[in-house]
Chain A
């Protein structure tokens, strides 16, 4: 009976993924009167259709949908035209910090504080004359009555790199848009906003606090008794991580690093699990955001190198018990290894989570590919059935990946720390 309930729950969750994500796309395919500023519209495709072949030759392009859903956003889309506005915090030289809610943009139809919301993402308007809230001009309306406020153009530079240029129109003038500073591209403003991903991370932290402080209180009040309820559920995870990961990997000094490894494991795990819930409090793709995994790997990197003892550094700069030419040969290799280890750590987590989400979203897109954007209802039904089956199995696989990647991150962090604090006895070991 219990097993049956569990299977039913999994099926329901898979069905919800298919349905909720399909619903999102349905909104943007233009059945409601809402302007299209905030939903994942198929701009490029309709843009091409305008000056290309007539309407019937239209091909569905799933790429904007997938990219929109795995990306970060400044508002939390809940259902249809309902979305939760999130606080925007921006820094500009000369302006200092500004605080405002993303509801001032009215789903992208207005500009405010010199910013505009494009598909849920905040962008600065370059040289905009006013910081007040103003209505944007509609650039064009597509066949389905969607108004477009942001013009997107793909520009190829001399090196052949394709970059997107976005612009808006206000009082007959065209203004360019500027994205926030990223790792590889600096710009004139910095985005400190509580975005969808930051919101999900806060939620994950609050959940972890509730779970673990509850456990702590239980153990304090019931000393010597067997655990019950949530504590009973969490204890095997905790003990497994302590006895199978932290203790054997780090060695005698394990207690000092226990908190770090456990925090990494449970934080990544809960973020991954929240990301698998397809509706409101979940659906934030936290570990599929490379900035998050970079910071987590950076924490590991710093801890490893600050706790490294003299044996650790000796192994990097002057490998013992090998001839001198080999010692010199090893220096660059070991130095590169120092950075490659955290790099693979961050790439592995990022790529696994992003790949999983991309596959699920692509499978959901099958409905619209088979359905030819609402023109072929039979095709859409076949697509829905196929997508439902595949999404159900992908969700199960994703559940495994969510736990496995959290485990691998924690395990490898523990192994790297263990290698840094290990006491060597060269005469015996080599």
Chain B
């Protein structure tokens, strides 16, 4: 398997990172999960015949580090790399990070995936979300009814409300709408978010297979990458 370098972020300054989440342990754990994923990172022979994914979508792309890395691993002309972020600074950083690393990302400013449905219904092959997962007061969470006050504040990139699950819980129904048959959904969680509970909930609601694919201790937190796969043979209706 080829080795992929961490995207070059040297164009982003301290000033950028006052408004945009700076890649940290959680970002890098997600990159490791992508690089080690047997369907995303292929050996050279299989890369030549790659026919998946066609549509990648990252929610909350921040600096653009993760989607840039995905584009490098998948191959920049092999798929569409759509990204959303509620923060216009982040969308600009995402575009610039793509350009700096010679891949094209397609950033759009929106709440979660609100303007991509129903067009992308059951059409996203690879869905990625590193949500604001830190348990906080609900008032700190960015949401449609709580805009734009915390919109440009950096806390919106990590404040997750009760159990760190408020944004995540609001996104899960979108994930069900978006994910294509056979699609893969990678998500970053904390151990404090109770990943097993979420895996069970999602399995009961939609029958998706979920499991931990990567975990690492980071200071007092334990980071977990959870993968969900939608069955290829589900009834699409």
State yes or no: do A and B come from one complex: no
> CB within 8 Å of A: which residues of B?
none
**Which residues from chain A sit less than 8 Å from chain B, CB to CB?**
none
